[in-house]
Amino acid sequence: MAVREALVIGTSSYEDTRLNRLRSPGLDAMELSGVLSDPAIGGYAVRPVIDQSAHVVQREIERFFRARRPDDQLLLYLSCHGIKDARLQLYFAASDTDRDLLDSTSVPAAFVNGQLTRCASRKILVLLDCCYSGAFRPGGAKSADTAVHLLEEFKDTGVAVITATDALQQAWEGDGPVTDTGLGGLSVFTASAVEGLRSGRADRDGDGWVSVEDLYGHVREDMLARDARQNPLRWILGGQGTLKIARSAAGGVSDRPLPLPRSLPALGGLGTALLAGITPAASVLRRTLGPVPRPVLLTGKDGMPYAGTDTREIVAALPTEPGYAATGTGILRGLVAEQYRVSRDGTATAAVVFESVLRGLQPALARGTDPIVLARALPPLITVLEGRLGRFNELLRQETSGRLTAALTAVCADEEIGDTVGRALLRTGTEGAVTVTESVGFGLTLAVCDGHSMAAGYLSPYFTTDEENEEAVLRGAKVLLCAEPLTGVRDVLPALELVAQAGRSVLVVAPEVGGELLTVLAEHARRGTLAPVAVPLPHPLLADLSAFTGAFVFASAADIRACEPGHLGHARRVVSTRSRTVLTGGAGRAAATVKVGEIAVGGMREDEVRRRTALVRRTVHTGQDALTYGLLPGGALALAAIGPGLGPMGVPAEQDVAEALGRALAEPLLALARNRGEPDPEGVLRRVRAEWPEVVYHAVSGSFHPYQRAGVWASTATTWRMLHAVEAAVLEYLSVI
């Protein structure tokens, strides 16, 4: 039986600071999904994909088009940044897109084209709302003169593409281009399409159906009437008959005037609507704060309930409220993900502080204070807080083994983990590395071996074998080194064939790895046909790596054509992250450059091993930060103590931000005390502010002790990073409203 399905992709937020955050894609996706899924209009089964990474978007697109039947009717929609490279090739940006690594961190138009070509369905419509979208060429279609808007009549079968612009134009949203951070609701192109489908105006011939020709004609005339400065295009591939996209909601064209794009709610209404998606999640996360957390009941993959305290699992499991509240929930989830990525800890604290700051700003917003004025006041206050934290920072030295082990035990609340991680850090030193793996044994085991470390990480997220921890781990890896940049596949193919024949993984290192080669390696990694990792490393540093692995350094890419098995080096284990790569068990004869500690985590049950592994990773991260940046006598205590007295400020709006931030920084300590069952949490707060850091609150015992023997420690770096993550999330909230 034929199906009607739609994949709606919208990307508003980007990790690369060179890609401005967009207002429209999330709203575009929400509104278009509503129209398409309406049984009276589109009748599609809609799958929205919002603010996802490139590999997730590509996977969803490939899954959407695979295993289709000829009569299946499919609609693909993309709203995001459109980017063209130096070769004028078009790429669709995803949340993790790096403008310098488009092949591996974005969705190439060629990839989408390939999926369209291979799909068995002959009833496909693609809507592209992004800059330069007219540069998209469906397979087999000829380039169109931008002055020609009708190529041929779309028939009953085929592939049709409607783009928001031609190959040279920007796409616009509201009152500005999508590259602008000004006001805007829906994008002009999507607003026209949604309005035409919802009102029935797109049924230009009045037959009760909206066809490809109807929708394109309506959008084009509507945008011309609004002087949108965009020239939408239509492309046809193999069309026959007439493809009906939707039913006419109004039974034909009405005489009412064309409306402008849907506007956002009033300032206060939108801020409150977004907060409605943040407050419930933050309230749940408050339960998990402190050494005596109150677990939240979650549902596992097997459908069975379990009690969990992992912030990321809780946030992912929470239901998303409809409407603008979903945007607020998305900002909170992004905050949790970012804080975990940079610190592996402090996620619940960040969420609670963030929500508290927003609640504190609502009175100012209700009075009509400009969000931009509030946003401008926040960064200087964060700088002041950083300075206050620095005055109480307790630096640790590596030789103080007792202090380090005690601090780590306090952080993880597990004596075995604290002792094991402490010994690993002491034996590897500040220049060494510590890796963590799951094992089939019991308990924790520590092995320290020789290794080699590079201050460079993998070039593509497709290489990761552990997505949760953003690590690429290779075992028994071959090592290919080249002194010149590698971009083409043809020269490197002989070496890759040797690796494939041996059934091994491969580490490719050169001053630059990109272009076609990086794309091919990423595709092999995605399909599982090869386990590669590509890492950039300057030419002068290749000699040490060669000596450690026994790999021959090829002078140029052309020389690799003569590659033989003996030219490839070997490493027993390779662990690569975004910023660092560590090798152990090299086949070379040179002395190791660092010591590497390998902690293996075992246990009776799989869930126990997974939980303890995550805890060991977090403790390692905290220990490394402690040796580099120092410790604080309690993270929640420090926040509560440094919050008061941020004013007075020169402008009333600045004072509003200072007061909101000061109150918010006390919330983690109050939540921690309530979770322990303290009868007077406010009394705990008052004493902490009066006596910290000399005297600290011990949440497990509910008593106060001198900080030297209380054993209450938190990473200074984690607290710094949490403040900056909250700052970024608050600024995002204020920019949206």
Q: Which of 541, 546, 533 is nearest to 475 (CA)?
A: 533
Q: Which of 631, 629, 633 is nearest to 693 (CA)?
A: 633
SS3 call for 670: helix
Domain 268-392+632-673+714-736 shares a fold with domain 444-601: no
Q: At residue 150, does pLDDT exceed 70?
A: no
In the prediction, which pLDDT does 536 show? 94
Higher pLDDT, 60 or 317: 60
Query: Average pLDDT of 317-326?
Result: 71
Q: Return the HEC string of 202-238.
A: CCCCCCCEEEHHHHHHHHHHHHHHCCCCCCCEEEEEE
Question: Position 455: which residue type?
Answer: A
SS3 call for 572: strand
Question: Position 98: which residue type?
Answer: D
**CB neighbour list of residue 322: distance below 8 Å, 6 or more residues apart:** none
Highest-scoring range by mean pLDDT, 441-450, 526-535, 661-670: 661-670
In the prediction, which pLDDT does 690 show? 92
Rounded CA-CA distance 130/170 in Å is 7
Residue 302: burial class (beta carbons within 10 Å; 0-12, 13-18, 19+):
exposed
Query: Average pLDDT of 481-505?
Result: 89
Lowest-pLDDT choice from 202-216, 299-313, 620-634, 717-731: 299-313
**What confidence tier does 240 reach under pLDDT thresholds 50, 70, 90?**
very low
Computed over every residue of the chain, the mean pLDDT equals 82
| pLDDT tens sequence across 49-105 | 988 999 999 999 999 998 888 888 999 999 998 988 767 788 999 999 988 889 889
Query: Average pLDDT of 482-502?
Result: 90
Query: Average pLDDT of 555-566?
Result: 92
**What confidence tier does 515 reach under pLDDT thresholds 50, 70, 90?**
confident
In the prediction, which pLDDT does 170 show? 61
Q: Could you count the other beta carbons within 10 Å of the beta carbon of residue 17?
A: 8
- What are the domain boundaries of the chain? 4-247, 268-392+632-673+714-736, 444-601
In the prediction, which pLDDT does 156 show? 43
Q: Could you count the other beta carbons within 10 Å of the beta carbon of residue 583?
A: 30
Residue 165: burial class (beta carbons within 10 Å; 0-12, 13-18, 19+):
buried
| pLDDT tens sequence across 566-619 | 999 999 999 999 889 999 999 887 766 788 888 999 888 887 888 888 889 888
Is residue 698 a contact partner of residue 704, using CB atoms and an 8 Å limit? yes
Rounded CA-CA distance 437/204 in Å is 62
**What confidence tier does 646 reach under pLDDT thresholds 50, 70, 90?**
confident
Q: Contacts for 399-408 with beta carbons within 8 Å, 24 or more apart?
A: 401/426, 404/623, 404/626, 404/627, 406/711, 407/626, 407/631, 407/711, 407/713, 408/619, 408/622, 408/623, 408/626
Rounded CA-CA distance 326/314 in Å is 16
Higher pLDDT, 430 or 399: 430
Lowest-pLDDT choice from 151-160, 203-212, 505-514: 151-160
In the prediction, which pLDDT does 182 show? 31
In the prediction, which pLDDT does 437 show? 87
In the prediction, which pLDDT does 254 show? 37
Higher pLDDT, 19 or 446: 446
**What confidence tier does 736 reach under pLDDT thresholds 50, 70, 90?**
confident
Rounded CA-CA distance 545/479 in Å is 9
Is residue 697 a contact partner of residue 634, using CB atoms and an 8 Å limit? yes
Q: At residue 172, does pLDDT exceed 70?
A: no
Give, to the nearest 10 degrees, the angle between helix 325-343 and helix 279-286. Answer: 40
Rounded CA-CA distance 104/533 in Å is 12
In the prediction, which pLDDT does 34 show? 86
In the prediction, which pLDDT does 132 show? 80
In the prediction, which pLDDT does 167 show? 65
DSSP 8-class letter at 71: T
Cα torsion at 258, 264, 269, 272 (round to 10°)?
A: 150
In the prediction, which pLDDT does 237 show? 66
Rounded CA-CA distance 203/183 in Å is 31
Query: Average pLDDT of 434-446?
Result: 87
Residue 577: burial class (beta carbons within 10 Å; 0-12, 13-18, 19+):
middle
**What confidence tier does 168 reach under pLDDT thresholds 50, 70, 90?**
low
Query: Average pLDDT of 114-139?
Result: 83
SS3 call for 556: coil
Q: At residue 146, does pLDDT exceed 60?
A: no
In the prediction, which pLDDT does 257 show? 36
Query: Average pLDDT of 148-169?
Result: 59
Question: Position 305: which residue type?
Answer: P
Q: At residue 180, does pLDDT exceed 50?
A: no
Q: At residue 142, does pLDDT exceed 70?
A: no
CATH superfamily of 444-601: GroEL (3.50.7.10)
Alpha carbon distances (Å) from 242 to 124, 137, 159: 12, 21, 12
Rounded CA-CA distance 166/149 in Å is 10
Query: Average pLDDT of 398-402?
Result: 53
Q: Which CATH architecture has domain 4-247?
A: 3-Layer(aba) Sandwich (3.40)
Cα-Cα-Cα-Cα dihedral sign, residues 163, 164, 170, 171: negative
Rounded CA-CA distance 553/152 in Å is 56
Q: At residue 394, does pLDDT exceed 60?
A: yes
In the prediction, which pLDDT does 553 show? 95
Higher pLDDT, 426 or 458: 458
Cα-Cα-Cα-Cα dihedral sign, residues 133, 135, 137, 142: positive
Is residue 124 a contact partner of residue 76, using CB atoms and an 8 Å limit? yes
Q: At residue 349, does pLDDT exceed 50?
A: yes
Sheet containing 107-108: order of strands: 82-84, 90-92, 107-108
In percent, how much of the chain has pLDDT > 70? 87
**What confidence tier does 472 reach under pLDDT thresholds 50, 70, 90?**
very high
Q: Which of 505, 459, 487 is nearest to 558 (CA)?
A: 487
Q: At residue 436, does pLDDT exceed 80?
A: yes
Task: Cite the beta strand spans of 592-669 per DSSP E.
Answer: 594-601, 631-632
DSSP 8-class letter at 140: T
Query: Average pLDDT of 172-180?
Result: 43
Q: At residue 261, does pLDDT exceed 60?
A: no
List alpha helices for 481-558, DSSP H. Answer: 493-502, 515-527, 542-549
In the prediction, which pLDDT does 242 show? 63
CATH number for the domain whose boundaries are 268-392+632-673+714-736: 1.10.560.10
Query: Average pLDDT of 620-626?
Result: 84
Higher pLDDT, 465 or 305: 465
Q: Tokens 């979770």 map to which residue?
A: 675
Lowest-pLDDT choice from 189-198, 327-336, 376-385, 705-714: 705-714
DSSP 8-class letter at 513: B
In the prediction, which pLDDT does 18 show? 75
Query: Average pLDDT of 651-678?
Result: 92
145: left (phi over 0), alpha (psi -120 to 50) or beta: beta
Query: Average pLDDT of 637-650?
Result: 83
In the prediction, which pLDDT does 138 show? 64
